[in-house]
Amino acid sequence: MKTVLFAGTLLVAAAAPAFAAPAADNTCLMRQYVDGWGTRGDHTLVINDRFGRKYLASLAGYCVDLDFAMSVGIRSPGGGNYCVDRGDRIVMRGGGAMGGDSCWITKIERYTPDMEKAYHAALEAKKDQPAP
């Protein structure tokens, strides 16, 4: 599993209250609890928290080679929200990423077991298709 670079979030985490108010749909991924990540292509990221919960982040912008990044950091433009949210920036370093490539979170939601099954089913279906 890849680990997360907490670039720019440690200061926010240190100042965070013990309990931040979760989003209305209960998808608050608190920055100080980010514990790992995985990719689902160049514009989707699955972020794990230290409690074993997973969140799906949809991304926009220059996310090329996200699969090969050695570390990922999450930066917030305002720094006031303790939950990872739309508009936060994903910063990649190492691997194929060149000097801090970044892209923006357009949506974040809980990543359910049903979503995981659908992802793997789509991969299997893609394998079964003949090559062009």
pLDDT single digits (tens) 5-59: 443 333 333 333 333 444 445 678 998 899 999 998 888 999 999 999 999 999 9
Q: Are 85 and 105 in contact (CB under 8 A)?
A: yes
The residue-averaged pLDDT of 101-107 equals 89
Please state the pTM of the whole predicted model: 0.73
Under 8 Å CB-to-CB from 111, ≥6 apart: which residues?
A: 46, 54, 55, 56
pLDDT of residue 116: 93
Angstrom distance (rounded) from CA 54 to CA 34: 10
Nearest to 74 by CA among 12, 43, 45, 31: 31
Q: Is residue 108 pLDDT above 70, yes or no?
A: yes
The residue-averaged pLDDT of 97-116 equals 85
For residue 59, the one-letter residue type is: L
Alpha-carbon torsion, ordered 39, 115, 123, 62, to 10 deg:
-30
